[in-house]
Structure 1
Amino acid sequence: MGILANTVSVCHFKVQGDLPQQDELHAWVTKQLAANKFNPIDQGTEEMSVGWVHLDDPRIAEFDSPAACCREHYFMFTLRRDKRAVPSAVLKAHLEKAKEEFLAENPGFAKVPKQKREDLKEAVHAMLLSQTLPTPATYDAVWDTKNGILTFSSLSPKVIELFEDMFKKTFEGLRVSAFHPYARAESVLDDGNKVLLAQANKAGGDNYLELIKENQWLGTDFMLWLMYQTMNESSEYTVNQAGVLLAQEAFVAYLDDRVVLLGSGENGAQKITVAGPQDHFNEVRSALLNKKQITEATLHMEAGDDHYKLTLKGELFHFASFKSPAVQLEKDSTVDEAMEREAVFFERMLLLEKGTQLFDSVFATFLKLRLGKEWEEQATAIQKWLNVCTYCNSQLNS
């Protein structure tokens, strides 16, 4: 079900470029999607087809009106990629049979000539492709034009690259840029703290790859602080970012279930995964004392009766397995299917926005501390907490 499912892995982009006038935007987006719609290859021999389809129904690729992709300030569309492939073992077996048949029909040849082998291989491959059904894959995108953020339902680098290229091709003059940790940090801070963030920026320019690589401390320090908060503080926070939830609304956030650490060793990079409910994070603390850094962690956020859970990928701030409360809508036989789909979409967007607002509020709380004068004292407290772990020290000395 993609982005409409109660659990989905997502990454975020910022849409950049000059948009058409507001009164022309819906028609323009619809036209561009229609011009780059998905074309099925079930009846042909093409190896791959890529294009846009409806988010509600990936079988439909007709964008004949704004209603097909627009809901209030959202644009929604799905990237569909159908791909057919012939297994190498199957191709080899059929090719051998074709070569045997050629030699039987042409007894003057001791072996199949090189050019004929190439021709046979091409013909066999085409024949097998025509008998192979393409395998479909779909990836949802929701573009919020109010804040310019686009949510995409895949974390695969290859799929993300395909999406970026297709988006740029479809919407001439626009592009999507990764909403990486530094960009997200800028978005959640006030002007005064943005100045402090710029001073802490370790990148030498505005290149987004450099901003990611040189500022990995944003992710590692954030998750280390979250772990300390989970074990030593109340884990209570208040909403401090604009959105669906009211300002100063209380909620709880804590780490549990899964932590991934990375560090260098004699044989190169060493990765440690600690899974299952945590008591004192002893194994994690041992690894931290041994110069490892947290690169992934599962974060829980609870606001009222709503429980959100996600695995934060520290390098890029991707949300893996982002689980939100289930969409619960009363079925009404008098409501048609289109209206029900629309209701599900808005309810789902509301829940995703709430979860993101909670996350950004925790992140902003950390940043204000990390960029302020109090961080030195906090870092000392964290180090002391790590050092008093008797289990950790025994592990290091064993």
Structure 2
Amino acid sequence: MGLLSNTVSVSQFDVVGDLPEGDLAQWVGEKLAEHAFSSIENSAEELALGWVELDDFQSMEFSDPSSWWRDDYVAFTLRRDQRRLPSALVKGELQREQQRFLAENPTYQRVPKDKNDELKELVRNRLLVRVLPSPSLMDVVWNLRTGRLTFASVSTRAMDDLTDLFQKTFAGLRLVSVYPMQRARLVAPDALQDALAAENPSAEGSVMEQIRDNQWLGSEFLMWLLYGTTNARSDYQVTCDGPAAAGESFVAYLDNRFLLAGQGNEGAQKVTVVGPQDRFEEVRVALRQGKEIGEATIHMEKLEHQWRLTLKGELFQFGSFKCPTVRIEKGAELEDERLAVFYERMHVFEEGLQLFDSLFAAFLAERLGGQWGQRCQQINQWLEPQ
């Protein structure tokens, strides 16, 4: 599902580097066109990767700036076409070619390795021509004002494709994942920055090291929110920048889905708890057994508007992020109507992220503010069997 869908899974990156002087719209359009998608439908190639326009995955000219340039946003789509050959089909065709070779060369008891490799390549090329490529479309929205890029996928392969192609396209710029510690630095107030740095054992390490050594951010945040959900603490205030006004109240709680993980006698173990919870007894049992919350579904409500997302705690990716519904009026096909929907969609999407960041900031204020020991004691008492 794309970013204009009401539900989408997303990962976020910061764009690092200096933008060129001059006409940015022209520069962006030229760069996207240089690395635009090229079809492999009439060839035997297995994979194609490139940019297409957001509203039309068949269009890759980037000749009209209005197709990708929208005020502070640059919006386009990563298209990945790949042919996939069923292994059983390849195996059957290869066996036939091997039998034909042995029948034509009776002095051989089996096909030599070099010849076998040649037959494999022959079979794959012959079959690839007969198989249509399957397209994958992943939207990209780059906010030039904030430098934040949102990508409509949480797949590791897709994110690798994005970072590689983005850096080839826009030389001098690179993408850095908004990993948990980085998001914490961005939302924590200045007064807590030293305390946050003191909790980071890999302050000078690579991004991967900081992700590995700070998994406590995700697990403790979700534990804190779970305790608040079951002990009548659901009201929070907007404290981070975004469309909503500072100080506005909203409600946040956990429900519906949890993924817990831990080490057991037979190695890593995972427990999934799905459905509405009554005092979260299944989750509490897993926590008492030493497991930690790795993923959970967060609900947020402000006035009549509702958001829902599944937070993946290790990387702070947002799965199945559902925002208030944005609809195109029936029969509307005009460009201004599509633009209106785009801006409204970005508004509710960024407001949901603003609520999430404010919720995360509330956790950090308590976690780093000197009273965490007391809160941990309350959580441990609550975890005890009733």
Q: Same fold (TM over 0.5)?
A: yes
Instruction: Give the aligned partner of residue 299 of structure 1.
Output: 298
Unmatched runs of 5 consecutive residues or more in structure 1: 391-398
Q: How far has the Cα of 1:263 moved from its partner?
A: 1.3
Q: How far has the Cα of 1:170 moved from its partner?
A: 0.9
CA distance in 1, matches of 2:271, 2:334: 47
CA distance in 1, matches of 2:111, 2:292: 59
**For 1:344, which of 331, 335, 341 is the aligned residue?**
341
Residues 346/99 of structure 1: CA separation in 2 closer, same or farther (3 Å cut): same
**Is the deviation greater in 298-307 or in 202-211?**
202-211
Instruction: Give the aligned partner of residue 181 of structure 1.
Output: 180
Q: How far has the Cα of 1:195 moved from its partner?
A: 2.0
Is residue 86 of structure 1 aligned with residue 90 of structure 2? no
Q: How far has the Cα of 1:87 moved from its partner?
A: 2.0
Query: What amino acid is the match of 1:318?
Result: Q
Matched residue SS, 1:4: coil
Is residue 375 of structure 1 aligned with residue 372 of structure 2? yes
Residues 71/112 of structure 1: CA separation in 2 closer, same or farther (3 Å cut): same
Query: What amino acid is the match of 1:90?
Result: L
Unmatched runs of 5 consecutive residues or more in structure 2: none
**Is the deviation greater in 378-387 or in 36-45?**
378-387
Instruction: Give the aligned partner of residue 393 of structure 1.
Output: none
Equivalenced residues, count = 385
Cα deviation per residue 1:197-232 (whole Å; 9 max; x = unaligned)?
A: 112212141411111111111111111110010011
Residues 103/292 of structure 1: CA separation in 2 closer, same or farther (3 Å cut): closer
CA distance in 2, matches of 1:138, 1:111: 48
| Residue identity (%) | 46
Query: What amino acid is the match of 1:5?
Result: S
**For 1:353, which of 347, 350, 353 is the aligned residue?**
350
Residues 72/120 of structure 1: CA separation in 2 closer, same or farther (3 Å cut): same
Partners of 2:101 and 2:111 within 8 A in 1: no
Partners of 2:226 and 2:254 within 8 A in 1: yes
Residues 225/118 of structure 1: CA separation in 2 closer, same or farther (3 Å cut): closer
Cα deviation per residue 1:157-187 (whole Å; 9 max; x = unaligned)?
A: 1111111111111111111111011111111
**Is the deviation greater in 214-223 or in 63-72?**
63-72
CA distance in 1, matches of 2:376, 2:184: 20
Instruction: Give the aligned partner of residue 47 of structure 1.
Output: 46
Query: What amino acid is the match of 2:370?
Result: K
Partners of 2:197 and 2:203 within 8 A in 1: no
Q: Cα RMSD (Å) of the superposition?
A: 1.8
Matched residue SS, 2:88: helix
CA distance in 2, matches of 1:107, 1:230: 74
CA distance in 2, matches of 1:259, 1:175: 34
CA distance in 1, matches of 2:117, 2:331: 61
Taking the TM superposition and a 5 Å limit, the aligned residue runs for 1:281-292 are 281-292=280-291
CA distance in 1, matches of 2:143, 2:381: 44
Q: How far has the Cα of 1:123 moved from its partner?
A: 2.6
Instruction: Give the aligned partner of residue 319 of structure 1.
Output: 318
Residues 119/265 of structure 1: CA separation in 2 closer, same or farther (3 Å cut): closer
Partners of 1:102 and 1:112 within 8 A in 2: no
CA distance in 1, matches of 2:192, 2:125: 60
CA distance in 1, matches of 2:131, 2:66: 35
**Is the deviation greater in 50-59 or in 24-33?**
24-33
Partners of 2:262 and 2:290 within 8 A in 1: yes
TM norm structure 1: 0.92
Q: How far has the Cα of 1:329 moved from its partner?
A: 4.3
Cα deviation per residue 1:133-162 (whole Å; 9 max; x = unaligned)?
A: 111111111111111111111111111111
CA distance in 2, matches of 1:296, 1:102: 54
Instruction: Give the aligned partner of residue 12 of structure 1.
Output: 12
Instruction: Give the aligned partner of residue 220 of structure 2.
Output: 221
TM norm structure 2: 0.95
